[in-house]
Amino acid sequence: MSQIIENFGKMDTKEMVYTSLTNEDISSEKNSNIIVRIETSENRKKAFNLFIKASEQNHILAQYYVGLCYECGRGTVKDKKLAFEYYKKIANKGNVLGLFRCGYFYDIGFGISVNKQKAIELYQQAANLGHLIAQNNLGVMYENGDGINKDYGRAFELYHKAANSGYSLAQYNLADMYEYGKGIENDINQTIYWYEKSAKQGYQLAQNKLEILRK
């Protein structure tokens, strides 16, 4: 995926779209970088039209990109409802990106009414497929009792899974649980360990916490 992005400067828009749609990694949130890397308004419109054509052939990743274009207003007008409809198409096919995006839209009421139960259901499905942000977001809901009974133990498990896979926000949240003894015994060594993991990835809140703890 990183090689694709690095080569984009040498490609025209059609080549970028073709390369992105033939990329086998259709489960990665990093795919959104492809849209960002298409820099000019004219090329974004070309890319959007190509994604539309591919999506009409039921290409799952193209449908994801169309949703992303609508969500971000890249190459077309920003339309949260249409974005949701495209994400829903691929979520119904069990695609992890669609499941996560639909869960997120339900969670925050982005283009649709807030529905915490649907958000939890979709986050859980995406989390089961290894989506790190879904694991973390679901952990936050369990920690805060947001739409579900508060469960520190379950939150800890979800944070730990995403943290072990390298997600900086989950590492921060896990450190916070160790610091305050939420769902686990207070452990200053584990607290510092996970804050350091998060801080090394540039997460500012973790860096701030370490400064306080080391005073």
Q: Tell me how far apart the alpha carbons of residues 62 and 50 are, in angstroms, rounded to a whole number.
A: 9
The 10s digit of each residue's pLDDT in 135-173 is 999 999 999 999 999 999 999 999 999 999 999 999 999
pTM of the model: 0.85
Calculate the CA 108 to chain-centre distance: 14
Residue 201 sits at φ, ψ, to 5 deg, of: -95, 5
Q: Tell me how far apart the alpha carbons of residues 28 and 206 are, in angstroms, rounded to a whole number.
A: 25
Instruction: Map out the domains of the chain with their CATH numbers.
Output: 1-114 (1.25.40.10), 130-215 (1.25.40.10)
User: Which amino acid, one-letter code, is at 112?
Assistant: I
Residue 148 Cα distances to 11, 133, 162, angstroms: 47, 18, 20
The 10s digit of each residue's pLDDT in 59-103 is 898 899 999 999 999 899 999 999 999 999 999 999 999 999 999
